[in-house]
């Protein structure tokens, strides 16, 4: 992109992590950007980093679970930008804990933000895309849309649902050759979201080795503005995680055992709903602070082991089916 073809972009969940990194990446390429999230202060922090690149930025606080508020965001964005080239639906929250030990209101909130919020985004911008005859809707999903995550059941439900929603929506817009529904599936990313999640495990949360830099995910999103693609996986283990569909029961039971052992040894942590119902006070950051040199060095090896384990599970499943 350059000044003559600068993109007009809306980003929800723009106050930290992947959303903030994507805003900065678009700003560096001359885009005009509307930033949306719950915290106006955090949005202004990210907006200032974008303006340092010379970008024009509009801050619009919104809770994506509020349908009318999201419709208002779309109207304001269209008025300010003149048109919308790309809408990045990026809000994502989570809560960790055994399903029956987590308050049901917390589960509901995860579904409202991660699934209904994205439906609200799409419902608000699709009429604009249809009227202008073009547009790209980018859904941030994660490999959680392919692999079940015990101890994060509502998160899994939201991501599986979001993947199905995107596939259905893609079918509906097929007659419009210049309207695209794009899904992005990163593995674990080093964002503040891990620290901000609800937690009812009794132990402190962390991330596995090989956690991604949010900027690598942002680059993938920016590429979609000029080269839309239905499905984009980011991270070395992404393909292996897709293979988890071959043996979902084995994957889920193995993950459940791992989570149980991990939190039994983790440093103690109090129960909290995290950022489910209000933005965190330390919002406005791109990085979560989890990346370490030894993690990056171990990433390739872990990806290989994961791939072999899942393929082996798939082969065993196939052989069992052949014997029936």
15 close to 37: Cβ distance less than 8 angstroms: yes
Helices 153-172 and 104-111: crossing angle in degrees, nearest 10, is: 20
> Could you give the CA distance from residue 154 to residue 151 in angstroms, rounded to a whole number?
9
Concatenating the DSSP letter of every residue in 168-237 gives HHHHHTTT-TTEEEEEEEE-SB-STHHHHSEE-SSB-----TTPBPHHHHHHHHHHHHHS--SEEEESTT
**Closest by alpha carbon to 94, among 152, 150, 147, 39?**
152
> Could you give the CA distance from residue 173 to residue 35 in angstroms, rounded to a whole number?
25
- Mean pLDDT, the chain, rounded, equals 88
Weakest-pLDDT range from 20-34, 162-176, 214-228, 235-249: 235-249
48 close to 31: Cβ distance less than 8 angstroms: no
Span 63-112, pLDDT tens digits: 999 999 999 999 999 999 999 999 999 999 999 999 999 999 999 999 99
154 close to 202: Cβ distance less than 8 angstroms: no
Weakest-pLDDT range from 175-184, 240-249, 267-276: 240-249
- Evaluated on CA atoms 246, 167, 179, 140, the torsion sign reads negative
CATH number for the domain that contains residue 84: 3.40.50.720
Whether the per-residue pLDDT at 164 is higher than 90: the answer is yes
Half-sphere exposure of 64 (CA within 13 A, CB side): 33
User: pTM for this structure?
Assistant: 0.88
Span 3-34, pLDDT tens digits: 436 899 999 999 999 999 999 999 999 999 99
Whether the per-residue pLDDT at 226 is higher than 60: the answer is yes
Q: Tell me phi and psi for residue 233, to 5 degrees.
A: -100, 135
Q: What's the N-to-C CA distance of the chain in angstroms?
A: 56
> Could you give the CA distance from residue 116 to residue 91 in angstroms, rounded to a whole number?
10
| Structural domain containing residue 80 | 3-323
CA dihedral of 46, 47, 53, 57, whole degrees rounded to 10? 150
How far from chain centre, in Å, is Cα 198?
16
Q: pLDDT band at residue 133, thresholds of 50, 70 and 90?
A: very high
Active site residues: 155
Span 190-217, pLDDT tens digits: 999 989 999 999 999 888 777 899 999 9
The predicted structure's pLDDT at residue 243:
63
> Does 25 or 248 have the greater pLDDT score?
25
202 close to 225: Cβ distance less than 8 angstroms: no
How many domains is the chain built from? 1
Concatenating the DSSP letter of every residue in 260-312 gives HHHHHHSPB---B-TTSSS--TT-S-S--S---HHHHHHHHHHHHHHHHHHHH
Q: What region does 151 belong to: left with phi over 0, alpha with psi -120 to 50, or beta?
A: left
87 close to 136: Cβ distance less than 8 angstroms: yes
């Amino acid at each position: 992109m350059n000044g003559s073809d600068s993109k007009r972009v809306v980003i929800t969940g723009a106050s930290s992590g992947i959303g903030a990194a994507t805003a900065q990446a678009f700003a560096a390429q001359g885009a005009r950007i509307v930033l949306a999230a719950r915290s106006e202060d955090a949005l202004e922090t990210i907006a200032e980093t974008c303006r340092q690149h010379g970008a024009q930025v509009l801050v619009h606080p919104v809770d994506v679970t509020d349908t009318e508020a999201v419709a208002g965001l779309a109207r304001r964005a269209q008025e300010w930008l003149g048109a919308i080239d790309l809408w990045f639906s990026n809000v994502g929250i989570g809560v960790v804990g055994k399903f029956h030990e987590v308050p049901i209101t917390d589960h509901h909130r995860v579904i409202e933000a991660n699934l209904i919020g994205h439906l609200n985004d799409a419902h608000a911008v699709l009429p604009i895309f249809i009227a202008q005859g073009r547009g790209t809707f980018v859904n941030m999903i994660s490999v959680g849309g392919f692999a079940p995550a015990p101890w994060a059941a509502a998160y899994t439900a939201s991501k599986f649902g979001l993947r199905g929603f995107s596939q259905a929506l893609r079918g509906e817009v097929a007659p419009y050759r210049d309207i695209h529904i794009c899904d992005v599936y990163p593995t674990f990313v080093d964002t503040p979201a891990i620290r901000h999640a609800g937690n009812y495990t009794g132990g402190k949360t962390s991330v596995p080795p090989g956690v991604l830099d949010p900027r690598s995910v942002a680059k993938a999103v920016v590429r979609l503005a000029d080269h839309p693609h239905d499905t984009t996986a980011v991270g070395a283990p992404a393909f292996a995680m897709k293979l988890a569909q071959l043996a979902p029961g084995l994957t889920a039971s193995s993950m459940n055992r791992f989570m149980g052992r991990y939190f039994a040894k983790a440093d103690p942590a109090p129960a909290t709903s995290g950022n489910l119902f209000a933005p965190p006070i330390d919002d406005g950051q791109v990085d979560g602070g989890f990346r370490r040199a030894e993690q990056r060095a171990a990433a390739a090896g872990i990806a290989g082991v994961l791939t072999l384990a899942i393929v082996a599970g798939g082969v065993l499943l196939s052989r069992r089916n052949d014997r029936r």
